[in-house]
Structure 1
Amino acid sequence: MSGSWAPLVVLALLASAGNVAVDGGGPPHRNHGRFKAGPWKPAHATFYGGRNGSDTTAGACGYKDSVAEGYGLQTVAVSTALFNGGATCGACYEVRCTDSPDGCKAPGVSATPVTAPPLIVTATNLCPPNYHLPGDNGGWCNPPREHFDLTMPAYLQIAEEKAGIVPVSYRRVPCAKTGGIRYTINGNKYFNMVTVTNVGGAGDVAGLSVKGSKRVKWTPLSRNWGQVWQTGEDLTGESLTFRVMTGDHRRHTSWHVLPLDWQFGVTYQAPKNF
């Protein structure tokens, strides 16, 4: 999804996948966060799914529909070395195609190395290893390789389809988000599964805690898989405040983002982000 999409379009997409409630009034909050871009590193990139991004909108991060949840098709399945057991889900990367005159899409006159325009994508899935093939010939996502399996629409922005696999350079970059962090609870009163989306700054979630309006103490949640977090606490009948910690140890608290009458399966959006 292009960062220029209006917030109302994002909310409309979310509404198509389920109900949406926005907590707080005033203009939408936009915050690029204080996360700083990391160093450039070498890797390789391939593509998966169809030309329209089919078969790429769900996966190992727990997102049900990355398009409806605001990530669009600018997404990537990362190799095990980058996935980090799901801790990297939501992180943003700048990826450049390099050193492939026949594979990279480069502006203007060809140069050496050939470098295409940058592409910024969000990690939303895992590219699983294939131990039946060597890492340099088909097992592109085998450890310890750092590899990006891009959606086909994203891949075609930087490389030619015929190339199949191209060398790239990449770096972690801040995630620029429109609107606040979003929370969706599924499950039941005895087992809650909380999905956290639209996280700015570092983009990933390293820790999540919740506090009900009738409680004094915070309850830490554990990672179930990807960016889906779980707790067995009965949270019904209370307004809920969530505290998110990203991988760079920054914290953000979404006060009373879920009202007293919150419902399972509804996405609630905080007024602020990192």
Structure 2
Amino acid sequence: MSGSWTAPLLVSLLLGLALADVAAAGGAKPLTPGGRQVHHNHGKFTAGPWKPAHATFYGGRDGSGTTAGACGYKDTAAEGYGVQTVAVSTVLFGDGAACGGCYEVRCVDSPDGCKPGAAALVVTATNLCPPNYEQSGDSGGWCNPPREHFDLSMPAYLQIAQEKAGIVPISYRRVPCVKQGGIRYTITGNKYFNMVMATNVGGAGDVAALTVKGNKRVKWTPLKRNWGQLWQTGEDLTGESLTFRVMTSDHRKATSWHVLPKDWQFGVTYQAPKNF
């Protein structure tokens, strides 16, 4: 019902060179286990309080049109997020900080819109629902600031609400992301410009900071958020086994030691043995 963000034009121009090596690699992303995982913080991410919002849907009945977007994920179905996903409004998106975070949503206070007997649903934030300033916030501009809004994939929406409703009131809260297997790391680009994506992150699910250290280096190199959950560095990381340290929004950290071997390749996904 709401037109979610699909691809950033300016960033795509900047990434043209960086993505060349991915095309050369044929886009294959076999999961390669390696390294060991160390957690620097104890405890678990806990669910937050319930808050009011509204939900709409976008994409096709099979989730088509929702598997990429403003977070930088290429194919959420292949990357472990499935189609239980959501595009969140600007105030929730936080310039990409929300990407990977998990929310529990439930349809409320709409006998004609809510699906009878539907249970709450857990979805992952993988896209931005952009503002539509040509329409008011209470009539079409559902994702206009300061509204907190969830534009669910159609398969997710139909689990809690009826299609005819179009928009329904919901309650939502942040919840831990439960993942199978360890954190996954993919580097695209070339030796002069690296774009790193960390996926399948458990716990808080989002990535607030990412650092890397090669086996020949003493110091850690902080990466800078480029857009969504794509992180960049101009350091030449080739020819070294790489260790990544992920920090999530609750300030918990996990270090994946030597998760990428010395002969790592661009466009290949490497998986740590553990998660948050």
What TM bracket, shorter-length normalisation? Answer: 0.7 to 0.9
The code of the aligned residue for 1:225 comes to W
Deviations 1:17-64 (A, max 9, x none): 522211159xxxxxxx70000000000000000101110000000000
Match of 1:5 in 2: none
Letter in 2 for 1:157: Q
Q: What is the CA–CA distance in structure 1 between the aligned matches of 2:115 and 2:223, rounded to whole Å?
A: 44
Superposition pairs for residues 223-262 of structure 1, below 5 Å? 223-262=225-264
Q: How many residue pairs are counted as aligned between the two chains?
A: 245
Mapping for residues 1-274 of structure 1, pairs under 5 Å: 18-23=29-34, 34-107=44-117, 116-274=118-276
**Normalised by the size of structure 1, how large is the TM-score?**
0.88
Measure how far apart 1:106 and its partner are.
Answer: 2.2
Kindly indicate whether the alpha-carbon contact (under 8 Å) linking 1:17 and 1:68 is maintained by their aligned counterparts in 2. no
The normalised TM-score by structure 2 is 0.87
Q: Could you tell me which amino acid in structure 2 is paired with residue 84 of structure 1?
A: G
Counterpart AA for 1:136: D
Runs of 4+, deviation exceeding 6 Å: none
1:16/1:68 contact within 8 Å kept: no
Listed as ranges, the gaps of 5+ residues in structure 1 are 1-14, 26-32, 108-115
- Aligned CA RMSD, in angstroms, stands at 1.4
State the 1:117 CA deviation.
1.0
User: Given that residues 93 and 120 in structure 1 are in contact (C-alpha distance below 8 angstroms), is that contact kept between their aligned partners in structure 2?
Assistant: yes
Equivalent residues of 1:106, 1:117 under 8 A apart: no
Quick one: distance in 1 between partners of 2:235 and 2:210? Answer: 14
Give the percent of matched residue pairs that are identical in Structure 1 and Structure 2: 80
Tell me, what secondary structure is at the counterpart of 2:151? strand
How far 1:16 sits from its partner (Å)? 8.8
User: Using the alignment, how far apart are the partners of 1:144 and 1:39 within structure 2?
Assistant: 19
Partners of 1:24 and 1:221 in 2: CA distance: 20
